[in-house]
Structure 1
Amino acid sequence: MTHTLDNTDRAILELLQKDCTLSVSEIGERVNLSSTPCWRRIQRLEQEGFVQRRVALLDPEKLNVGVTVFVAIKTNQHNEKWFKKFADVVSTIPQIVEFYRMSGENDYLLRVVVPDIKAYDAVYRRLIRDVELFDVSSSFAMEQLKYTTALPLDYA
Protein backbone atom coordinates (compact mmCIF):
# COMPACT_ATOMS: atom_id res chain seq x y z
CA MET A 1 0.00 0.00 0.00
CA THR A 2 1.39 3.40 -0.99
CA HIS A 3 0.88 6.27 1.42
CA THR A 4 0.25 9.88 0.48
CA LEU A 5 3.37 11.96 0.95
CA ASP A 6 3.28 14.67 3.56
CA ASN A 7 5.59 17.68 3.81
CA THR A 8 8.09 15.77 5.95
CA ASP A 9 8.27 12.93 3.40
CA ARG A 10 8.84 15.48 0.63
CA ALA A 11 11.56 17.18 2.67
CA ILE A 12 13.28 13.83 3.25
CA LEU A 13 13.10 12.99 -0.46
CA GLU A 14 14.48 16.43 -1.36
CA LEU A 15 17.45 15.87 0.95
CA LEU A 16 18.08 12.35 -0.35
CA GLN A 17 18.00 13.61 -3.96
CA LYS A 18 20.67 16.19 -3.16
CA ASP A 19 22.90 13.97 -1.02
CA CYS A 20 22.02 10.37 -0.20
CA THR A 21 25.13 10.07 1.97
CA LEU A 22 23.55 12.16 4.72
CA SER A 23 23.14 10.16 7.90
CA VAL A 24 19.68 9.44 9.26
CA SER A 25 20.41 11.73 12.20
CA GLU A 26 21.42 14.59 9.85
CA ILE A 27 18.25 14.14 7.80
CA GLY A 28 16.14 13.90 10.95
CA GLU A 29 17.66 17.08 12.34
CA ARG A 30 16.88 18.96 9.10
CA VAL A 31 13.25 17.77 9.03
CA ASN A 32 12.68 18.02 12.80
CA LEU A 33 12.45 14.30 13.54
CA SER A 34 14.47 12.11 15.86
CA SER A 35 16.53 9.36 14.22
CA THR A 36 14.13 6.44 14.72
CA PRO A 37 11.00 8.03 13.17
CA CYS A 38 13.17 9.47 10.38
CA TRP A 39 14.69 6.03 9.70
CA ARG A 40 11.18 4.49 9.62
CA ARG A 41 10.02 7.06 7.08
CA ILE A 42 13.06 6.46 4.87
CA GLN A 43 12.46 2.69 5.09
CA ARG A 44 8.79 3.18 4.13
CA LEU A 45 9.72 5.47 1.22
CA GLU A 46 12.13 2.81 -0.03
CA GLN A 47 9.68 -0.07 0.47
CA GLU A 48 6.93 1.82 -1.36
CA GLY A 49 9.23 2.54 -4.29
CA PHE A 50 9.57 6.31 -3.91
CA VAL A 51 13.31 5.73 -3.52
CA GLN A 52 14.32 3.27 -6.22
CA ARG A 53 18.04 3.16 -5.41
CA ARG A 54 20.88 5.26 -4.08
CA VAL A 55 23.74 5.98 -6.45
CA ALA A 56 26.86 8.08 -6.90
CA LEU A 57 26.88 10.61 -9.75
CA LEU A 58 30.18 10.48 -11.59
CA ASP A 59 31.98 13.20 -13.55
CA PRO A 60 31.74 12.38 -17.28
CA GLU A 61 34.75 14.59 -18.15
CA LYS A 62 37.01 12.79 -15.67
CA LEU A 63 35.80 9.45 -17.07
CA ASN A 64 36.43 10.60 -20.67
CA VAL A 65 32.78 10.43 -21.75
CA GLY A 66 32.14 14.16 -22.01
CA VAL A 67 30.45 14.07 -25.42
CA THR A 68 26.67 13.66 -25.30
CA VAL A 69 24.81 12.56 -28.42
CA PHE A 70 21.03 12.49 -28.76
CA VAL A 71 19.99 9.87 -31.29
CA ALA A 72 16.51 10.02 -32.80
CA ILE A 73 15.40 6.76 -34.38
CA LYS A 74 12.56 6.02 -36.75
CA THR A 75 11.48 2.51 -37.60
CA ASN A 76 8.99 0.96 -39.94
CA GLN A 77 8.89 -2.11 -37.67
CA HIS A 78 6.12 -1.78 -35.11
CA ASN A 79 5.93 -5.26 -33.68
CA GLU A 80 6.90 -6.95 -30.42
CA LYS A 81 9.60 -9.16 -31.94
CA TRP A 82 11.47 -6.21 -33.47
CA PHE A 83 11.11 -4.11 -30.31
CA LYS A 84 12.43 -6.91 -28.10
CA LYS A 85 15.51 -7.30 -30.30
CA PHE A 86 16.06 -3.53 -30.38
CA ALA A 87 15.70 -3.22 -26.58
CA ASP A 88 18.05 -6.18 -26.07
CA VAL A 89 20.69 -4.60 -28.32
CA VAL A 90 20.37 -1.22 -26.62
CA SER A 91 20.71 -2.83 -23.19
CA THR A 92 24.08 -4.31 -24.16
CA ILE A 93 25.63 -0.99 -25.23
CA PRO A 94 26.96 0.79 -22.12
CA GLN A 95 27.42 4.09 -23.94
CA ILE A 96 23.62 4.34 -24.29
CA VAL A 97 22.60 5.73 -20.91
CA GLU A 98 18.97 6.62 -21.65
CA PHE A 99 16.37 5.02 -23.94
CA TYR A 100 12.86 6.36 -24.58
CA ARG A 101 9.91 5.38 -26.76
CA MET A 102 8.53 8.62 -28.14
CA SER A 103 5.34 10.05 -29.55
CA GLY A 104 5.51 12.28 -32.59
CA GLU A 105 7.93 12.22 -35.49
CA ASN A 106 10.56 9.93 -33.94
CA ASP A 107 9.87 6.51 -32.51
CA TYR A 108 12.80 6.31 -30.06
CA LEU A 109 15.31 8.64 -28.49
CA LEU A 110 18.66 7.58 -27.09
CA ARG A 111 21.17 9.52 -25.04
CA VAL A 112 24.69 8.33 -25.70
CA VAL A 113 27.86 9.37 -23.85
CA VAL A 114 31.24 8.87 -25.51
CA PRO A 115 34.70 10.47 -25.60
CA ASP A 116 34.52 11.59 -29.26
CA ILE A 117 32.87 11.25 -32.67
CA LYS A 118 34.87 8.13 -33.51
CA ALA A 119 33.53 6.37 -30.42
CA TYR A 120 29.99 7.46 -31.29
CA ASP A 121 30.46 6.07 -34.81
CA ALA A 122 31.29 2.67 -33.29
CA VAL A 123 28.01 2.79 -31.31
CA TYR A 124 26.12 3.84 -34.45
CA ARG A 125 27.67 1.05 -36.53
CA ARG A 126 26.80 -1.51 -33.87
CA LEU A 127 23.18 -0.33 -33.80
CA ILE A 128 22.70 -0.48 -37.56
CA ARG A 129 24.52 -3.83 -37.74
CA ASP A 130 22.35 -5.48 -35.11
CA VAL A 131 18.92 -3.89 -35.71
CA GLU A 132 17.03 -2.88 -38.83
CA LEU A 133 16.35 0.87 -38.56
CA PHE A 134 14.52 3.13 -40.97
CA ASP A 135 16.24 6.42 -40.04
CA VAL A 136 18.85 7.51 -37.51
CA SER A 137 19.51 11.16 -36.78
CA SER A 138 22.26 12.20 -34.36
CA SER A 139 22.67 15.55 -32.61
CA PHE A 140 25.76 16.39 -30.59
CA ALA A 141 25.22 18.51 -27.49
CA MET A 142 27.41 21.58 -27.72
CA GLU A 143 27.00 22.63 -24.08
CA GLN A 144 25.11 21.29 -21.10
CA LEU A 145 23.09 24.18 -19.68
CA LYS A 146 21.10 22.29 -17.06
CA TYR A 147 21.44 18.82 -15.67
CA THR A 148 19.79 17.35 -12.63
CA THR A 149 18.69 13.96 -11.44
CA ALA A 150 16.40 15.57 -8.86
CA LEU A 151 12.71 15.17 -9.64
CA PRO A 152 10.19 17.90 -8.78
CA LEU A 153 8.22 16.95 -5.68
CA ASP A 154 5.43 19.51 -6.11
CA TYR A 155 3.08 16.93 -7.62
CA ALA A 156 3.68 14.08 -5.17
Structure 2
Amino acid sequence: MDSLDKKILRLLQGDATLAVSDVAKRIGLSTTPCWRRIQKLEEDGVIRRRVAVLDPARVNLGVTVFVAIRTNSHSIEWLRRLSEVVHDFPEVVEFYRMSGDVDYLLRVVVPSIAAYDAFYKRLIARIDIRDVSSSFAMEQIKYTTELPLDYVILDRSGSLPAI
Protein backbone atom coordinates (compact mmCIF):
# COMPACT_ATOMS: atom_id res chain seq x y z
CA MET A 1 0.00 0.00 0.00
CA ASP A 2 1.28 3.45 -0.85
CA SER A 3 0.03 7.03 -0.71
CA LEU A 4 -2.11 6.55 -3.85
CA ASP A 5 -3.85 3.54 -2.28
CA LYS A 6 -4.51 5.61 0.85
CA LYS A 7 -6.00 8.38 -1.31
CA ILE A 8 -8.23 5.84 -3.06
CA LEU A 9 -9.39 4.49 0.29
CA ARG A 10 -10.14 7.98 1.62
CA LEU A 11 -12.25 8.76 -1.44
CA LEU A 12 -14.13 5.45 -1.44
CA GLN A 13 -14.82 5.63 2.30
CA GLY A 14 -16.49 8.96 1.67
CA ASP A 15 -18.45 7.82 -1.39
CA ALA A 16 -18.24 4.24 -2.65
CA THR A 17 -20.38 5.14 -5.66
CA LEU A 18 -17.65 7.27 -7.24
CA ALA A 19 -16.85 6.16 -10.75
CA VAL A 20 -13.35 4.79 -11.20
CA SER A 21 -12.66 7.58 -13.66
CA ASP A 22 -13.54 10.18 -10.99
CA VAL A 23 -11.34 8.48 -8.41
CA ALA A 24 -8.49 8.28 -10.94
CA LYS A 25 -8.83 11.95 -11.85
CA ARG A 26 -8.82 13.06 -8.21
CA ILE A 27 -5.64 11.14 -7.35
CA GLY A 28 -3.79 11.83 -10.60
CA LEU A 29 -3.85 8.36 -12.20
CA SER A 30 -5.35 7.05 -15.40
CA THR A 31 -8.43 4.87 -15.09
CA THR A 32 -6.91 1.43 -15.75
CA PRO A 33 -4.15 1.58 -13.10
CA CYS A 34 -6.63 3.05 -10.63
CA TRP A 35 -9.09 0.21 -11.30
CA ARG A 36 -6.28 -2.34 -10.82
CA ARG A 37 -5.40 -0.77 -7.46
CA ILE A 38 -9.03 -0.90 -6.32
CA GLN A 39 -9.29 -4.56 -7.39
CA LYS A 40 -6.07 -5.36 -5.50
CA LEU A 41 -7.38 -3.62 -2.37
CA GLU A 42 -10.53 -5.74 -2.63
CA GLU A 43 -8.59 -8.97 -3.25
CA ASP A 44 -6.33 -8.24 -0.26
CA GLY A 45 -9.38 -7.70 1.96
CA VAL A 46 -8.57 -4.07 2.68
CA ILE A 47 -11.89 -3.15 1.06
CA ARG A 48 -14.26 -5.73 2.54
CA ARG A 49 -17.37 -4.53 0.74
CA ARG A 50 -19.12 -1.43 -0.57
CA VAL A 51 -22.40 -0.50 1.07
CA ALA A 52 -25.04 2.19 1.33
CA VAL A 53 -25.18 3.91 4.73
CA LEU A 54 -28.82 4.49 5.64
CA ASP A 55 -30.40 7.12 7.86
CA PRO A 56 -31.84 5.07 10.76
CA ALA A 57 -34.69 7.52 11.44
CA ARG A 58 -35.84 7.34 7.81
CA VAL A 59 -36.14 3.55 8.05
CA ASN A 60 -37.97 3.71 11.40
CA LEU A 61 -34.96 2.79 13.58
CA GLY A 62 -34.63 5.93 15.68
CA VAL A 63 -33.66 4.25 18.97
CA THR A 64 -30.08 3.09 19.55
CA VAL A 65 -29.37 0.93 22.58
CA PHE A 66 -26.00 -0.19 23.91
CA VAL A 67 -26.46 -3.52 25.64
CA ALA A 68 -23.81 -4.67 28.10
CA ILE A 69 -23.90 -8.41 28.78
CA ARG A 70 -22.23 -10.19 31.67
CA THR A 71 -22.13 -13.96 31.90
CA ASN A 72 -21.08 -16.61 34.38
CA SER A 73 -20.01 -18.90 31.54
CA HIS A 74 -16.75 -18.15 29.78
CA SER A 75 -16.50 -21.29 27.68
CA ILE A 76 -15.99 -21.34 23.93
CA GLU A 77 -19.24 -23.29 23.62
CA TRP A 78 -21.19 -20.50 25.35
CA LEU A 79 -19.54 -17.88 23.12
CA ARG A 80 -20.49 -19.90 20.01
CA ARG A 81 -24.06 -20.17 21.26
CA LEU A 82 -24.26 -16.43 22.02
CA SER A 83 -22.82 -15.66 18.58
CA GLU A 84 -25.44 -17.86 16.91
CA VAL A 85 -28.23 -16.21 18.88
CA VAL A 86 -27.00 -12.67 18.24
CA HIS A 87 -26.59 -13.31 14.50
CA ASP A 88 -30.28 -14.27 14.37
CA PHE A 89 -31.28 -10.75 15.49
CA PRO A 90 -31.11 -8.16 12.70
CA GLU A 91 -31.57 -5.43 15.34
CA VAL A 92 -28.01 -6.11 16.52
CA VAL A 93 -25.76 -4.10 14.21
CA GLU A 94 -22.55 -4.44 16.24
CA PHE A 95 -21.34 -7.18 18.60
CA TYR A 96 -18.09 -7.15 20.59
CA ARG A 97 -16.33 -9.34 23.15
CA MET A 98 -14.94 -6.96 25.75
CA SER A 99 -12.27 -6.78 28.41
CA GLY A 100 -13.10 -5.43 31.86
CA ASP A 101 -16.40 -5.65 33.75
CA VAL A 102 -18.58 -6.16 30.68
CA ASP A 103 -18.17 -9.44 28.79
CA TYR A 104 -20.03 -8.52 25.57
CA LEU A 105 -21.38 -5.30 24.12
CA LEU A 106 -24.12 -5.01 21.52
CA ARG A 107 -25.35 -2.02 19.59
CA VAL A 108 -29.02 -2.50 18.86
CA VAL A 109 -31.25 -0.34 16.67
CA VAL A 110 -35.04 -0.46 17.02
CA PRO A 111 -38.00 1.83 16.36
CA SER A 112 -39.05 2.27 20.00
CA ILE A 113 -38.47 1.32 23.62
CA ALA A 114 -41.34 -1.15 23.31
CA ALA A 115 -39.54 -2.77 20.35
CA TYR A 116 -36.37 -2.96 22.44
CA ASP A 117 -38.32 -4.62 25.26
CA ALA A 118 -39.60 -7.24 22.80
CA PHE A 119 -36.02 -7.75 21.52
CA TYR A 120 -34.76 -8.13 25.10
CA LYS A 121 -37.39 -10.73 25.94
CA ARG A 122 -36.56 -12.75 22.81
CA LEU A 123 -32.83 -12.54 23.63
CA ILE A 124 -33.10 -13.76 27.23
CA ALA A 125 -35.49 -16.52 26.16
CA ARG A 126 -32.78 -17.94 23.90
CA ILE A 127 -29.68 -17.81 26.12
CA ASP A 128 -28.86 -17.66 29.83
CA ILE A 129 -27.25 -14.33 30.74
CA ARG A 130 -26.14 -13.32 34.25
CA ASP A 131 -26.74 -9.60 33.77
CA VAL A 132 -27.93 -7.30 31.01
CA SER A 133 -27.60 -3.53 31.23
CA SER A 134 -29.14 -1.33 28.57
CA SER A 135 -28.16 2.27 27.85
CA PHE A 136 -30.30 4.29 25.45
CA ALA A 137 -28.50 6.84 23.27
CA MET A 138 -30.05 10.25 23.73
CA GLU A 139 -28.29 11.89 20.80
CA GLN A 140 -25.81 10.77 18.16
CA ILE A 141 -23.06 13.37 18.19
CA LYS A 142 -20.57 11.69 15.87
CA TYR A 143 -20.96 8.70 13.61
CA THR A 144 -18.77 7.63 10.75
CA THR A 145 -17.92 4.47 8.89
CA GLU A 146 -14.66 6.07 7.72
CA LEU A 147 -11.55 4.60 9.36
CA PRO A 148 -8.54 6.86 10.02
CA LEU A 149 -5.80 5.94 7.55
CA ASP A 150 -2.91 7.79 9.20
CA TYR A 151 -1.97 4.62 11.09
CA VAL A 152 -1.43 2.36 8.08
CA ILE A 153 1.96 0.64 8.40
CA LEU A 154 3.81 -0.11 5.19
CA ASP A 155 6.45 -2.81 4.92
CA ARG A 156 9.82 -2.16 3.25
CA SER A 157 8.49 -3.05 -0.18
CA GLY A 158 5.81 -0.37 0.14
CA SER A 159 3.05 -2.94 0.49
CA LEU A 160 0.64 -3.53 3.30
CA PRO A 161 2.11 -6.17 5.62
CA ALA A 162 0.35 -9.54 5.75
CA ILE A 163 -2.08 -9.99 8.60
Alignment TM class, shorter chain as reference:
over 0.9
1:18 to 8, 14, 17: 14
2:122 to 112, 126, 131: 126
Matched, 1:138 2:134: yes
Please give the alpha-carbon distance, in whole angstroms, between the structure 1 residues aligned to 2:151 and 2:110.
Answer: 34
- Map of 2:42 onto structure 1: 46
Please give the alpha-carbon distance, in whole angstroms, between the structure 1 residues aligned to 2:74 and 2:83.
Answer: 13
1:65 to 61, 69, 83: 61
Please give the alpha-carbon distance, in whole angstroms, between the structure 2 residues aligned to 1:31 and 1:108.
Answer: 41
The count of aligned residue pairs is: 152
Q: Which runs of 5+ in 1 are unaligned?
A: none
2:76 to 80, 91, 94: 80
Percent identical across equivalent pairs? Answer: 62
Query: Could you tell me which amino acid in structure 2 is paired with residue 114 of structure 1?
Result: V
Query: Could you tell me which amino acid in structure 1 is paired with residue 93 of structure 2?
Result: V
Q: Which runs of 5+ in 2 are unaligned?
A: 153-163
Please give the alpha-carbon distance, in whole angstroms, between the structure 1 residues aligned to 2:44 and 2:84.
Answer: 28
1:111 to 99, 107, 111: 107
Hey, which bits of structure 1, 4+ residues long, moved more than 4 A?
Answer: none
Please give the alpha-carbon distance, in whole angstroms, between the structure 2 residues aligned to 1:46 and 1:128.
Answer: 38
Q: Deviations over 1:78-116 (max 9, x none)?
A: 112111111101000000110000000100000000011
Please give the alpha-carbon distance, in whole angstroms, between the structure 2 residues aligned to 1:138 and 1:96.
Answer: 13
How far has the Cα of 1:70 moved from its partner? 0.1
User: What's the TM-score, normalizing by structure 2?
Assistant: 0.92
User: What's the TM-score, normalizing by structure 1?
Assistant: 0.96
Please give the alpha-carbon distance, in whole angstroms, between the structure 1 residues aligned to 2:28 and 2:102.
Answer: 47
Matched, 1:93 2:89: yes
SS in 2 for 1:61: helix
Please give the alpha-carbon distance, in whole angstroms, between the structure 2 residues aligned to 1:77 and 1:127.
Answer: 16
Matched, 1:55 2:38: no
Q: Deviations over 1:102-148 (max 9, x none)?
A: 00010000000001100000111111110000000000000000000
Query: Could you tell me which amino acid in structure 1 is paired with residue 126 of structure 2?
Result: D
- Map of 2:3 onto structure 1: 7
Q: Root-mean-square deviation (CA), in Å?
A: 0.5
Please give the alpha-carbon distance, in whole angstroms, between the structure 2 residues aligned to 1:46 and 1:81.
Answer: 33
